[in-house]
Every structure is written in C-alpha cells, then in structure tokens.
C-alpha cells in the first residue's frame, strides 16, 4: 500500500511538472510575439478628413460650390458640388464628383434655422451629404402638436428638409470600454489621456458632473477616480482623474470583450461612409457606419451639437465608451435611440474637439502613461488612407490588463508580457522533473540493496 501511494505521488508530481513546462513555454512564446513591433494601423477612412483629396478640393472651392464629401463603396472619396466646373476640379484630384442642387451654405442655413426654433426634446437633425438634404427626426415622445409646428418650420425652409418619425426615444446612454460605476449610474470608460502630469479617462459629460466619484466594482472597494471637468449639455465629454494619478500598464488599449482590446495609435475626425466600431460595458463591440457629421440632438436634459451620427447600436451603460476604426480614436458615446436587438441611431462626441478643449492628449501605443510620446501618432491632420468601408477593422489587438473584475491569478500568469515569470516556471518545472527522477532512482537503489541483502545474507 505504501509503495502504491509513492507511485501516485510521483505520477502527480511528474504531471504537474510537465504542465508547468507547457505553461511556461506558452508564456515565453506569447511574450516574444507581444514584443514584436505591431503592424502600422491604417488611418481612418476619411474621404473628407483633413489632408485627403476630398477635403483639399472642398476647402479650395468653398461651401458655396460644395456640399460635403463621403466615402464611396469602393473606398474612394466622393465630393458633392453645385456646378460642372467644380466637378471637373474634383475629378482631377482622383475623387468622384456628384453634382447636387443645394450648397453647404444652404444646408447650414437650414440647420441654423431649426436650431433657432423653439426647442423640442426628442428631436435630432443632421445634414445628409449623400442625399443633399437635411434630415429631421422625431422620436415617440414628441407630441403631434410639436411635430406639426416643427414640420411648419421645415416647410418654410424648403423642400430639401426631410421630416421622419423614428422608433424609440433619443436618450443619453447612462447606466469598452470597462464599466465605471457611481451613485449616478453606470458608464463606460472611453480613452486614456494625459496632460503630462496626471492621467485621466475621457468619457461622456452626461455621465456625471465635476466631483462625481467612480469605482470599478459594485462593492465600491476599487476607486477609479473622480470627475474633474465636465461639459454637458452643449457638448458631451468629461475627464475622470485616476485616483493614483497614473493609468498604468495597458493605458493605450480599449477593451472589446473576452479579455481582448484594441491598441490606440492616434486620433482623427471620422468621415461619412466610414465603417466604425464602438465598445461598451453593456453591449460589447459593435460596428456600423458614419451617416452624418455635426448632428444636433435635443435630449431631455438639453441640446448637444457637433455630434457624429452613426448606425452603430448602443444600450444604457455604453455611455462614454470609445468609437474607433483601424486603431484610431474617433469619439465617445453620447446617446441615441433603439438597442442592439432592433438597431437604432447612436451619436458620438468627436474626440478631437474634446482633446482640444480639455488640453489633453491621448495615451497611445509607444507612449508610457503620463510620459512623452516615443514617436509621432496619427492625428486629425494626417493624410487619410483609402479602402472600402467593408475592409475596415477595429485595429491591432492587444490583451487587456488591470481595472476589471477578471484580474485573476491565471490572467496575471498568462499575461503576454511575462517573459521572466515564464522562464521561472520553466526552470521550476525542470527542477521538479529532475528531483522526481532522482528520488525514484534513489528509492530503486535502496530497494535493490534490501532485496540482495535478504537474498545473500
């Protein structure tokens, strides 16, 4: 019986040692791959972004002869113009021209008139470049009387103002993109930013006013930080200063679920037609397309202007979560209607405006939290890449570390950066195997001596 127990112990020890070798080898291999320089992410698909051919010709021709630009299905920029001479100028740049009736000056005048009319909560409007009209939407909370009055305002502007009813209600999404909790509800972290001295979370302004305290767990044991600057309504962004002053490791990564994330390399403005991705603590990673820029939404709490309109779905709790494409930060989640079962419209605060107003910069790949960038990152003024919207991806993937409830011992052991611990596990396992083999040999030798001593006297 004693010999049987010894054999079981030896087998368990050998199995544990072999398992340790496999785990250690995996840790070292993953760390080696993680240390490789990530592939460069393409810039956002911005036909009308600064630096692109669409934007250059629009700036040269002016708003009286152009009416916006967007990305075509083939990834090439399309520019709306009001005359054939302008169309020829667009084609010479390699972009596609579309002759339309109404100029950007007319479209902007229409939105200004709508904005000066009595405010109606539950309404939103934006310029649709592709149809050359202003689209006004009203949700189910808008009364028939308010709808009739707003329709009258639209009729006086002109036939290019299109009125439509929409399902659901336009609301902020209070209650990634890791969860942030306070007494006011739940939001999602957006992007990590820094002013060179302290690190912050950039999130939505409606999540809470200055002074709001945020936690990363429901028990209130793990304080993230507190809101030090907030803008809402009007705009929709805020800064949450980390309680410890620094964002820590993985500050350039936004969570997309399953312990994975996307590495952020810079910031830019999106373009109409661009495929974009949003991450949030409620509904995870979702994608859609930019349908309009400079949108206005009349939330129950107040009016927000200058928003990005998209077909990406969102749900309560996704507020403040990041909007990005090809690893480039584009915005933070503001609000919308619908959900991720039936779909809907979601609006985002452009990240470039928030960074400029707050005087902070993104913590990006190649930059330590709170430090100075090791190399220039893409910005809103960088030349834009051209690819079909369907070919766009979230960006370079990376592991998510820290900040969440899933920061277990196994997660820490299998962190791809742990070359040292991986080597230690390998070394310890080898020692265990050698020790097990030595003990077994020594036991066999003693048994051999006992047997022959009894045999030969």
Both tokens assigned to 436: 């097990």
The sign of the dihedral angle between the CA atoms of 380, 384, 385, 390 is positive
Is residue 173 within 8 Å of 316, Cβ to Cβ?
yes
Distance CA 200, CA 261 (A): 18
The answer to whether 453 is a known catalytic residue is no
Q: Are strands 237-242 and 199-203 parallel, antiparallel or unpaired?
A: antiparallel
Both tokens assigned to 453: 């001593």
Residue entry with tokens 């939103």: 124
Residues 6+ positions from 306 with CB-CB distance below 8 Å: 235, 294, 295, 349, 350, 353
Q: Which of 87, 137, 80 lies closest to 106, judged by CA? A: 80
Q: Are strands 96-99 and 199-203 parallel, antiparallel or unpaired?
A: unpaired
Residues 6+ positions from 248 with CB-CB distance below 8 Å: 369, 402, 403
Residue 234 phi, psi (nearest 5) = 90, -70
Residue entry with tokens 């997309």: 256
Beta-carbon-side half-sphere exposure of residue 370 (alpha carbons within 13 Å): 11
Is residue 241 within 8 Å of 218, Cβ to Cβ?
no
Residue 426 is predicted with a pLDDT of: 60
Distance CA 126, CA 295 (A): 4
CB atoms < 10 A from the CB of 223, how many?
Answer: 14
Both tokens assigned to 247: 């964002």
Q: What is the pLDDT along the chain (457 residues), one digit of tens a residue?
A: 555 555 655 666 666 666 666 666 655 454 443 333 333 333 433 334 444 567 778 889 999 999 999 999 889 999 999 999 999 999 999 999 999 999 999 999 999 999 999 999 999 999 999 999 999 999 999 999 999 999 999 999 999 999 999 989 998 865 545 688 887 788 999 999 999 999 999 999 999 999 999 998 767 678 889 999 999 999 999 999 999 999 988 899 998 888 889 999 999 999 999 999 999 988 999 999 999 999 999 999 999 999 999 999 999 989 999 999 999 999 999 999 999 999 999 999 999 999 999 999 999 976 544 443 333 333 333 334 456 787 788 877 777 765 443 333 333 333 444 445 666 656 666 676 666 666 666 665 565 555 555 544 4
Q: Strand, helix or coil at 329?
A: strand
Is residue 151 within 8 Å of 163, Cβ to Cβ?
yes
Both tokens assigned to 293: 């820029």
Say whether the peptide bond before residue 233 is cis (omega within 30 degrees of 0).
yes
From the number of C-beta atoms within 10 Å of its C-beta (0-12, 13-18, 19+), residue 240 rates as buried
Helix residue ranges, H only, 70-216: 84-92, 104-116, 144-157
Residue 391 is predicted with a pLDDT of: 76
Active-site residue identified among 319, 325, 379, 429: 319
DSSP conformation letters of 124-150: EEEEETTTTEEEEEE-TTS-HHHHHHH
In degrees, rounded to 5, the angle at the alpha carbon of residue 103 between the alpha carbons of residues 97 and 105 is 140
The answer to whether 236 is a known catalytic residue is yes
Residue 179 is predicted with a pLDDT of: 81
Give the single-character DSSP code of 417: T
Distance CA 147, CA 253 (A): 44
Distance CA 286, CA 271 (A): 18
Active-site residue identified among 41, 198, 206, 415: 206
Active-site residue identified among 128, 139, 236, 269: 236
How far CA 421 is from CA of 31, 250, 404, 412, in Å, comes to 10, 19, 22, 10
Both tokens assigned to 398: 């990376």
Q: Find the length of the chain.
A: 457
The answer to whether 319 is a known catalytic residue is yes
H-run or E-run covering 230: strand 223-231
């Amino acid at each position: 019986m004693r010999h049987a127990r010894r054999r079981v112990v030896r087998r368990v020890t050998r199995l544990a040692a072999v398992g340790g070798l496999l785990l250690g080898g995996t840790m070292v291999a993953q760390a080696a791959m993680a240390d490789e320089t990530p592939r460069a992410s393409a810039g956002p698909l911005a036909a009308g972004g600064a630096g692109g051919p669409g934007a250059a010709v629009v700036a040269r021709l002016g708003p009286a002869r152009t009416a916006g630009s967007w990305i075509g299905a083939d990834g090439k920029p399309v520019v709306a113009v009001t005359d054939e001479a302008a169309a020829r100028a667009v084609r010479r740049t390699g972009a596609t021209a579309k002759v339309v009736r109404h100029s950007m000056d007319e479209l902007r005048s229409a939105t200004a008139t709508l904005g000066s009319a009595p405010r109606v909560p539950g309404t939103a409007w934006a310029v649709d470049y592709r149809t050359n009209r202003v689209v006004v939407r009203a949700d189910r909370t808008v009364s028939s009387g308010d709808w009739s009055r707003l329709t009258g305002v639209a009729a006086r502007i002109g036939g290019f103002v299109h009125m439509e009813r929409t399902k659901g209600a336009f609301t902020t999404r209070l209650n990634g993109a890791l969860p942030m909790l306070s007494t006011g509800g739940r939001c999602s972290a957006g992007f990590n930013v820094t002013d060179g001295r302290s690190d912050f979370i950039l999130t939505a302004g409606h999540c809470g006013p200055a002074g709001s305290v945020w936690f990363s767990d429901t028990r209130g044991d793990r304080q993230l930080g507190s809101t030090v600057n907030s803008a809402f309504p009007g705009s929709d962004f805020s800064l949450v200063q980390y309680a410890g002053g620094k964002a820590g490791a993985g500050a350039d990564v936004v969570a997309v679920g399953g312990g994975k994330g996307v590495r952020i390399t810079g910031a830019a403005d999106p373009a109409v037609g661009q495929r974009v991705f949003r991450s949030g603590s409620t509904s995870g990673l979702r994608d859609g397309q930019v349908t309009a820029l400079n949108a206005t939404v009349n939330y129950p709490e107040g009016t927000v202007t200058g928003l990005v309109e998209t077909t990406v779905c969102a749900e309560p709790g996704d507020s403040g979560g990041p909007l990005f494409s090809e690893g480039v930060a584009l915005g933070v989640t503001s609000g919308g209607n619908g959900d991720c079962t039936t779909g809907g419209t979601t609006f985002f605060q452009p990240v470039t405006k928030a960074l400029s107003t707050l005087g902070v910069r993104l913590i990006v790949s190649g930059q330590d939290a709170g430090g100075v960038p090791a190399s220039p990152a893409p910005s809103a003024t960088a030349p834009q890449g051209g690819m079909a919207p369907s070919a766009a991806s979230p960006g370079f993937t990376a592991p998510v570390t820290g900040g969440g409830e899933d920061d277990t011992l196994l997660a820490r052991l299998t962190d791809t950066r742990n070359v040292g611990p991986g080597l230690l596990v390998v070394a310890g396992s080898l020692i265990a195997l050698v020790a097990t083999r030595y003990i077994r040999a020594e036991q066999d030798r003693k048994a051999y001596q006992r047997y022959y001593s009894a045999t030969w006297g």
